[in-house]
Amino acid sequence: MQELTTTRHNPQIDPFMQVWGWEIPVYLFLGGLVAGMMIISGYFIFSKRYKNTNCVTYTLPIISLLLLSLGMFSLFLDLEHKLYVWRLYTTFKISSPMSWGAWILILVYPVITANLLMDSPKFLADRFPQLDKIKNFIHERPVLIQNIGVGNMLLGGMLGVYTGVLLSTMGSRPLWNSSMLWVLFLISGLSTAAALVHMIAKDVDERELLAKADNGFLTIEIFVLALLLIGLLTSSSVHIEAAKLLISGAYAPAFWVFVVGMGVVIPLFIQLLAVNHKIKHTPIAPIMVIGGGLILRFIIVAAGQYSHYLNAHFK
């Protein structure tokens, strides 16, 4: 037997780490959601669906900009030294995912804005007549439009991957230390985005397509979750303990009920019935998917901070 006693009681550190509260999960969730929306919007542009004036690609950019700004504000709230936030942009640190993220976010804004300028929202177009000229300029150039589509998919992909890499590079936290984490966050970002866009889209064809895509994403998400857990369970003892936190430990009830049940399995079942025209499409399944995606970020951030090399030795 081994018993460990410490005199340290640093705030946010002891008895277990809680340096990241609600702000980071919200930031990661919104980042993933916007990433998914960029990929969907970019795909709709790339596949020439933008020619339909009803296409949701004209609605998404303004929502993406709003959600992304909310996410960044959430990250800002988490900083302990808020006045120094500009320091992020005085350097680029290649080894730091957070530095990558800061710069990716800077690139994401103009790419979404280019998507927005393809048909600016009415309240903006009314105020700034020049926007109409820009719109015409873009629509006269199909190659430019293709590039806007590709740019959105590419930057969306980078943003989605980054939200997972931010955590998975931390070898100190066994639960996060899995190369499946970025896949999970990217696919969860796509499934929550497909769910949200499904609710917004006006075109029936697009709604059907998004519901089918979401079913695909949710199915992949089940496999990715399983692979993440299997990867941890077949690794060292600290990683096994970390996986147990989700499987049977303190975070298990929330994980199984809200993430797996409410967030993936039940909405997948409902949406499968809907796309096979057994029941009508309702917002219930998409809302469940979005809720599940948010709770997934909360659980992974909290359980990851709890998971520790020492926890495996001293339970």
Partner 1 sequence: MARFGMAIDTKKCVGCMDCVVACKTENNVPEGHNRDWIVTVANGKFPNVNLEIQSQRCNHCDNTPCVACCPTGASHVHEVGAVVLVDHNMCIGCKACLASCPYDARFVHPDGYADKCTFCIHRVEEGKLPACVSVCPTHCMYFGDLDDANSEVSRLIASRKNHPLLPEAGTSPRIFYLI
Window 204 to 243, contacts with partner 1 (CB under 8 A): 236, 238
Cis before 15 (ω within 30): yes
C-alpha dihedral (270, 275, 277, 281), degrees to nearest 10: 60
Asked whether position 90 contacts partner 1 by CB under 8 A, the answer is yes
Q: Which of 47, 81, 211, 284 binds partner 1 (CB under 8 A)?
A: 81
Which residue in 48, 93, 133, 141 binds partner 1 (CB under 8 A)?
93
Judged by CB under 8 A, the stretch of 34-42, 78-86, 149-157, 227-235 that binds partner 1 is 78-86
CB atoms within 10 A of CB 276: 8
Do residues 277 and 202 make contact, with C-beta atoms less than 8 angstroms apart?
no
How far is 160 from 166, CA to CA, in rounded Å?
11
* CA 301 – CA 308 distance, rounded (Å): 13
Please name the residues in contact with 271: beta carbons below 8 A apart, sequence gap of 6 or more.
211, 214, 215, 218, 285
Contact with partner 1 (CB under 8 A) among 6, 53, 130, 276: 6
Segment near partner 1 (CB under 8 A); pick from 28-36, 89-97, 137-145, 262-270: 89-97
Q: Which of 48, 51, 87, 141 binds partner 1 (CB under 8 A)?
A: 87
Assess contact for 49 and 55: CB atoms under 8 A.
Answer: yes
Task: Give the residue, chosen from 62, 65, 77, 78, that forms a contact with partner 1 under the rule CB under 8 A.
Answer: 78
Give phi and psi for 54, each to the nearest 5.
-85, -5
Q: Among 71, 97, 156, 189, which residue sits at the site for partner 1 (rule: CB under 8 A)?
A: 97
CB of 91 to partner 1, least distance (A): 5
88 near partner 1, judged by CB under 8 A: yes
* Contact pattern for partner 1 over residues 11 through 50, marking x by CB under 8 A: xxxx--x-xx------------------------------
From 168, 145, 309, select the one nearest 237 (Cα to Cα): 309
**x/- letters, 112..151, toward partner 1 (CB under 8 A):** ----------------------------------------
Q: What is the footprint of partner 1 within residues 161-180 (CB under 8 A)?
A: 166, 169-173
Report CA-CA distances (Å) from 26 to 13, 15, 69, 207, 257.
21, 24, 12, 26, 20
Residues that bind partner 1 (CB under 8 A): 1-14, 17, 19-20, 78-82, 84-85, 87-88, 90-91, 93, 95-99, 101-102, 166, 169-173, 236, 238, 305, 308-310
